[in-house]
Amino acid sequence: MIDFSLVSEASYFGFFIGILSVIAVAVSKAGFGGALASLSAPIMLIAFTPTQALGILLPLFLITDVWVVWFWRHLGVRRIIMFMTIAGLLGQLIGWAMLHFGALDDSMLRLFIGLMAILTALRYFMTQFGASKKVQTIRVRARAFRRKIASRAFLWCGLSGFTSFVSLTGGIPAQIYLLPLALPRQLFVATMAWFFLFINLAKIPFFADLQIMSAATFTLSAFFLPFIPIGIILGRWMNKNLTDRLFYILVHFLLLGLGLQLLVRFFIGETTA
């Protein structure tokens, strides 16, 4: 069924905001493992309600995930993907239950995730630019984190599944989990792509139950489809033409920016409540 009600209500500015969100998602997922994708919902909220933003973006997230997984289909660390997905699905169940029963207040969660994102990024930059024996230190820490991939997954990927479900901002906790493993950039992006494909697919029946998705949101999503390939091609080109070190510096800068943005949103919301 096609419903043009949202299309007719949307302004030119609303379409412009939607295009920015879609390109950000596609570039991020194809080139940076989803770091910038967490900005898509806040961008959409400039022109649409939260429920509309979630309903419009989820099909676009899914289509982008399928494209990215196809591009990187021969890569990805299966063992890590398995732990991430199981934990993410458990987190989504909690998110659905809290929304279903009206028991969700995520302001403190936003503050916690923002602080952890900032601390993770700052720790990386201190290691890169301030510590001696940098490469050796990173490798030792990466090995230590790899021995804890299951236990850390249930904390950070469970949190990722939860925040992805309620606000489409699951990229930050997933990155906090995956970045310390120091995977080569292609493996990093492919692993994140597989993880988000699985948990985004799992959202569909829950979003339907909560009436977040509708014929009107699907129809408006269709108008943004042509911009997905543009963002994916650009993101994949950026990934292939950056060194591992530059790639991780850029991703941590994005992580720092997202953390700061979440803190600003927390305090602005707190002062205006």
Mean pLDDT of the chain: 79
The Cα–Cα gap between 39 and 24 comes to 8
The Cα–Cα gap between 181 and 142 comes to 5
What proportion of the chain, given as a percentage, has pLDDT over 70? 83
Cβ contacts of 152 within 8 Å, gap of 6 or more: 145, 177
According to the model, what pLDDT value does residue 87 have? 95
pLDDT higher than 50, residue 77: yes
pLDDT higher than 70, residue 157: yes
According to the model, what pLDDT value does residue 161 have? 93
pLDDT higher than 80, residue 165: yes
pLDDT higher than 50, residue 272: no
**Which residue, 243, 228, 212, 239, is CA-closest to 100?**
212
Q: Model confidence over 105-140: pLDDT tens digits?
A: 656 666 776 777 787 788 778 877 665 455 555 455
For 113, phi and psi rounded to 5 degrees? Answer: -65, -40
pLDDT higher than 90, residue 245: no
Residue 264 vs residue 93, higher pLDDT: 93
| pLDDT bracket for residue 60 (50, 70, 90) | confident
Q: Model confidence over 203-229: pLDDT tens digits?
A: 999 888 888 888 888 888 888 888 888
Of 80-89, 201-210, 248-257, the least confident:
248-257
According to the model, what pLDDT value does residue 50 have? 72
According to the model, what pLDDT value does residue 1 have? 60
| pLDDT bracket for residue 86 (50, 70, 90) | very high
| Section 86-111 average pLDDT | 81
Residue 47 vs residue 16, higher pLDDT: 16
Residue matched to tokens 């909690």: 94
- Is the full-model pTM beyond 0.85? no
